[in-house]
């Protein structure tokens, strides 16, 4: 399927989601500038993707059912009207990608605008932090957001700390109550539900662009995760017994991220939301082992400061501050 085909299909779906009435083949062919045979061909392709249309010779087509994929035409009706800093006004979906971060980085180098969101149904080479693979089956939410000049390089850690709160807030709106594990994992019932991978290109003291990749184990079951994650990771469907409507959840996450990132324009950052972030954090008071370079530092997590550093009380009674930058953005996470 070509990019143009994809675009036509998304416009077709948007025409249906925006209209309460049946739409005739003639009207669709007029709106899209296509022959009626071409419209019919696109309707058939959408049916193969899980859309159900009802066709009646007199009134036209009605959209009866659709898949809950992160397609632009399904997400857009839930986005707030365009405003400065808004995210997701260009959403690029594909049934399968190697990794949405890989695509977003490529698009960034080709000049795609700030706020572009890359989504897909399945990732075949999903990337986790520290060079780990990220299992990305059908039913999950796999997406990356392109952010141009989001903040100063000194605030790089803030990007993911703020994003973790945005995801936590949006999930709560959907009845999924999660906690944050420092620095930016999202836990449901103590198990990992969501991970965030930020990759950046820097220029001096500024961030040229950042790609914020977010993966949420949504509408599939824990058994679809690899054996080594059983008992450590969970999914919304397994933990709550109910699926979420992914297009709406994505729109809500994008709105929360955009709202929190406005803090950067006002000269603020993590410090402004630290109290709320700490209230949502599951790490403080727990015993933790943190990888700092090649070393593992063990102790009790006692606080997170205004810059997102984790403050630990070590077993010998000394205090140790772990700079989030060391953990979030290792050399291999930065695109040269
Ligand atoms: C982690 O290790 O916790 C980070 C996982 C990040 C996974 C997401 S899924 C969407 C985006 N594309 C990727 O290849 N990775 C991120």
What are the residue ranges spanned by the domains of the chain?
3-65, 72-279, 287-333
Ligand 1, closest atom to CA 185?
3
Determine if ligand 1 sits within 6 Å of the CB of residue 264: no
Q: What is the pLDDT of residue 17?
A: 87
The domain 72-279 belongs to what CATH superfamily? Bira Bifunctional Protein; Domain 2 (3.30.930.10)
Q: What is the pLDDT of residue 2?
A: 55
Q: What is the pTM of this model?
A: 0.93
Q: What is the pLDDT along the chain (336 residues), one digit of tens a residue?
A: 555 667 899 999 999 988 888 999 999 999 999 999 999 999 999 999 999 999 887 888 999 999 999 999 999 999 987 777 789 999 999 999 999 999 999 999 999 999 999 999 999 999 999 889 999 999 999 999 999 999 999 999 999 999 999 999 999 999 999 999 999 999 999 999 999 999 999 988 899 999 999 999 999 999 999 999 999 999 999 999 999 999 999 999 999 999 999 999 999 999 999 999 999 999 998 888 888 877 888 889 999 999 999 999 998 999 999 986 443 322 233 332
Q: Decide which of 1.10.10.10, 1.10.1740.10, 3.40.640.10, 2.40.50.140 is the CATH code for 3-65.
A: 1.10.10.10
Angle at 243 between CA 128 and CA 48, to 5 degrees: 85
Q: What is the pLDDT of residue 326?
A: 40
The CA 218 to ligand 1 mean position distance, Å, reads 14
Distance (Å, whole) CA 155 – CA 152? 5
Range 264-276 burial, b when 16+ CB lie within 10 A, else e? beeeebbebbbee
CA-closest residue to ligand 1 atom 3: 195
Ligand 1, closest atom to CA 125?
14
- Burial class from Cβ neighbours inside 10 Å (0-12, 13-18, 19+) for residue 11 reads middle
């Amino acid at each position: 399927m070509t990019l143009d085909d994809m675009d036509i299909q998304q416009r077709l779906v948007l025409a249906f989601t925006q209209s309460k009435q049946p739409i005739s083949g003639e009207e669709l062919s007029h709106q899209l500038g296509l022959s009626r045979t071409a419209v019919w061909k696109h309707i058939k392709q959408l049916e193969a993707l899980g859309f159900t249309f009802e066709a009646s010779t007199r009134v036209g087509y009605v959209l009866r059912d659709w898949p809950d994929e992160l397609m632009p035409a399904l997400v857009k009706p839930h986005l707030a009207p365009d405003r400065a800093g808004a995210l997701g006004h260009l959403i690029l979906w594909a049934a399968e990608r190697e990794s949405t971060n890989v695509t977003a980085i490529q698009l960034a180098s080709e000049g795609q605008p700030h706020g572009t969101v890359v989504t897909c149904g399945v990732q075949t080479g999903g990337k986790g932090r520290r060079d780990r693979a990220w299992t990305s089956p059908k039913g999950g939410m796999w997406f990356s957001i392109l952010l141009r000049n989001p903040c100063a390089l000194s605030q790089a850690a803030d990007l993911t700390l703020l994003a973790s709160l945005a995801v936590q807030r949006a999930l709560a709106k959907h009845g999924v109550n999660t906690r944050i594990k420092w620095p930016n994992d999202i836990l449901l019932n103590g198990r990992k539900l969501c991970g965030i991978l930020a990759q950046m290109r820097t220029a001096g003291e500024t961030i040229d662009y950042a790609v914020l990749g977010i993966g949420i184990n949504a509408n599939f079951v824990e058994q679809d995760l690899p054996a080594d994650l059983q008992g450590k990771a969970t999914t919304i469907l397994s933990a709550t017994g109910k699926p979420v409507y992914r297009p709406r959840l994505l729109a809500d996450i994008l709105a929360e991220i955009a709202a929190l990132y406005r803090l950067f324009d006002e000269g603020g950052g993590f410090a402004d939301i630290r109290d709320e972030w700490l209230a949502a954090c599951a790490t403080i008071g727990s015993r933790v082992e943190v990888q700092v370079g090649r070393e593992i530092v063990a102790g009790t997590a006692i606080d997170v400061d205004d810059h997102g550093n984790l403050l630990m009380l070590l077993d010998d009674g000394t205090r140790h501050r772990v700079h989030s930058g060391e953990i979030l953005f290792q050399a291999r996470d930065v695109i040269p």
